[in-house]
Chain A
Amino acid sequence: MADAGRERDITEILVGFARTLRGAGVDATPDRVQAMLAAAGEIGVTDRESAYWAGRLTLCGEPDDIPTYDAAFAAYFSDAPALPPTPQTPPRATRRPTLLFAPSRPGTGEADEDETTVASMASDTEVLRYRDIAALSAAEREEVRRMLALLAPGTAPRRTRRFRPAARGPVDPRATVRRMLRQAGEPTRLARRRRGAKPRRLVLLLDVSGSMAPYADALLRFAHAAVRRRPTLTEVFTVGTRLTRVTRALRHRDPDVALGAVSRAIPDWHGGTRLADSVTAFLDRWGRRGTARGAVVVICSDGWERGDPTALGDQVAHLSRLAHRLVWANPHRGKPGYAPLVGGMAAVLPYLDDFVAGHSLASLEELVGVIARA
């Protein structure tokens, strides 16, 4: 009976720890907590070490969780004050009515005015498409956001190794024999097969440093549209002084909620640029393992590199050898009189398959076309 009391205590302590961990940002779902309790029961939580492993093996799901886990564990199982909990669910974004439903100029809103309103709005949209996103007013930006959500960036399909039954194509021996068996071994119509097709992976590396601040919101919305289109075949990273993977945060349906989650995930928002280091980190942790292999990789950055431009050139050369196609979107390219003379940009130019602008809605639409090119 005393033992039961002790066990209850341990359960309470462990569940409390799981709650702390969830507050610190690790996705410790109830079934994971159940697993932790089962694990603790199996190994017998007699000391700090076994509690540590029982929790880490069951509550963590990826390497990024482990430092958070270690910190939370140290804080919880010591006398130090607990970690300040961060809000778990982001506050719901309030939807503002977009320009589409508001009159484009202050008017009386009478029925016979409707037609003129629609006409002037159409031309406004047309002009807006070519305006530099950095120079927009708040209302215009809202309109651009709405239109960005309608973009659907997706890559062209490639042949896969998997065969699919087809009406024409090479003979599928197994399926043919299976058909023959059904007819007591008599020769029958030949079954045929073809290789299937699957879109390539799309990898977006978005620069969120200070110099790219006016474009960061639009680019992240562009990325959100891409993730929504193909959730499992799109990877999004932000680069600045360090590399952050934001694919998971962007999976939320609502763009505002998704962007809120992204801004909480990015530690170097509007900071400096160490592009070469970030690209190296991407190559080491993701790119070379396979994320960039055969993929369409898009880097959105102005190419301002504080470090050595030749180092950036080397890394981008490496990336271009891994990727199927490497695209660079630089907002400054859309400005009249721009020439890629900034140290970083000049170094990477020889390795790019495409160099586009991405400073306005129209140029982002062009980027969608470039991504879809085979």
Chain B
Amino acid sequence: MTSVDATPRRPSSAADLASALADVEYLADDGLATAGYLASRMGRPLFLEGDAGVGKTAFAQALASATGAHFVRLQCYEGLDAAQALYDWDFTRQILHLRTVEAAAHATGERPDTAKLEASLYDRRFLISRPLLEALETTPSVLLVDEIDRADDEFEAFLLEVLSEAAISIPELGRVAAAEPPLTVLTSNRTREVHDALKRRCLYHWVEHPGFDREVAILRRRLPDITERLARDVATAIRRMRELDLIKPPGVAEALDWANALSTLGARTMDPDLAAATLGAVLKYREDAERARSADIANLLGE
């Protein structure tokens, strides 16, 4: 079990949560703050969708730090099953334990008590916690189930069961129930439709790209070293790029990378040459980069 470093605090309103999130450098808009607040008050999982790089994963992390909860992440992928999501027995250690007991019994010449031996085999110390069990055992905790759409659909049904019970039964050990259900955040990239049964249990929020002022504020907060002017220039250029009809419009993550790259090179304002040189931090497709160049990056700054 993992200890929780900060003291847990419960937000008293959506605005309170927003300011707690701001303290850990995450600037949430009204919708997202309300969603987080309601999820914690109503004990419902929060289902987040939105373009890549709008800060869905970062939100869950910030939520954990802001409420002083333990953060557990379950990255979904195809073939994910209970042994990787829930718990697993450490078989090698169990066998070693068995052999040790046997050897000891052999040396002293007495027969080991089989019932006792079996009970000692299925001890908690031989159980390896995987993310879901870890989240249930640690209170309070924030559980992030990232990219649920990548897992097989059978996994959804299984997850639904664990989430609605906030408990799991381990046949050899008994039932493990959470003292307080973990605050669960699910994210999806919409590669396939998630079952309605799961969605119905959740609060649903579509995360938008931040507006201009919020994006400037995010850049300034996360990168205290950059100048106000550079933050505004980057935010303007990023906003223009989102209007350009690109294959992958840049998200907040790309804006941060770009601003960081520019400031590392010593830029205090957006310089067309530097912008062209660092374009790889924002646009990751050759077609997009060409389109941005033909649209003239200098023009992306307006005027």
Could you list which residues of chain A lie within 8 angstroms of chain B, going by C-beta atoms?
29, 31-32, 35, 38-39, 42-43, 49-50, 53-54, 56-58, 60-63, 66, 160-163, 174, 177-178, 180-181, 184-185, 198, 201, 232, 235, 247-248, 283-286, 288-291, 293
Contact = CB atoms under 8 A, between A and B. Distances in A.
Given A35-B203, A63-B49, A290-B189, A42 B42 contact: yes
B38 A61 contact: no
A289 to B, nearest CB: 5
B281 interface: no
B7 interface: no
Nearest to A292: B191
Chain B interface: which size bin? 35 or more
Contact of A57 (B35, B88, B190, B196): B35
Chain A binding surface SS class: helix
A235 B193 CA distance: 9
Contact of B191 (A43, A49, A174, A290): A290
A185 B35 CA distance: 52
Contacts of B272: none
Contact of B149 (A163, A288, A290): A290
Nearest to A161: B79
- By Cβ-Cβ distance, the 5 closest A-B pairs, closest first, are A290-B191, A161-B79, A177-B91, A162-B79, A53-B34
B91 A174 contact: yes
B193 A35 contact: no
Interface string B24-54: 0000001100110110011010000100000
A248 B192 CA distance: 12
Interface stretch (B58-66, B95-103, B294-302): B95-103
B211 to A, nearest CB: 16
Contacts of A288: 247-248
A42 B81 contact: no
Interface string B143-170: 0000001101100000000000000000
B196 A291 contact: no
B189 A43 contact: no
B191 A289 contact: yes
Q: Which of B13, B94, B189, B203 has the most CB of A within 10 A?
A: B203
A290 B149 CA distance: 9
A57 B34 contact: yes
Contacts of A178: 89, 91
Given A43-B14, A63-B206, A290-B189, A57 B38 contact: yes
A57 B202 CA distance: 9
Contacts of A39: 38, 42, 203
B44 A35 contact: yes
B78 interface: yes
B92 interface: yes
B199 interface: yes
A50 B33 CA distance: 11
Given A39-B38, A58-B204, A291-B191, 4 more contacts: A50-B34, A160-B152, A290-B150, A290-B189
Interface of B: 13-14, 30-31, 34-35, 37-38, 41-42, 44, 49, 77-79, 81, 83, 88-89, 91-92, 94-95, 98-99, 102, 121, 149-150, 152-153, 189-193, 196, 199-200, 203-206, 247-248
B79 A60 contact: no
A177 B92 contact: yes
Contacts of B98: 181, 184-185
B95 A185 contact: yes
Given A39-B38, A162-B79, A181 B121 contact: yes
B30 A289 contact: no
A196 to B, nearest CB: 8
A232 B153 contact: yes
Contacts of A184: 98, 102
A364 to B, nearest CB: 25
A185 B102 contact: yes
Nearest to B206: A63
A60 B204 contact: yes
A163 B192 CA distance: 22
Contacts of A35: 42, 44, 203
A100 B34 CA distance: 59
Nearest to A57: B203
A49 B38 contact: no
Given A60-B204, A160-B79, A288-B247, A38 B42 contact: yes
Contacts of B200: 29, 31-32, 61
A29 B200 CA distance: 9
A178 B149 CA distance: 31
Contacts of B192: 201, 232, 235, 290-291
Nearest to B149: A290
Contacts of B196: 61
A177 B200 CA distance: 41
Contacts of B94: 177, 181
Nearest to A27: B196
A57 B14 contact: no
A42 B38 contact: yes
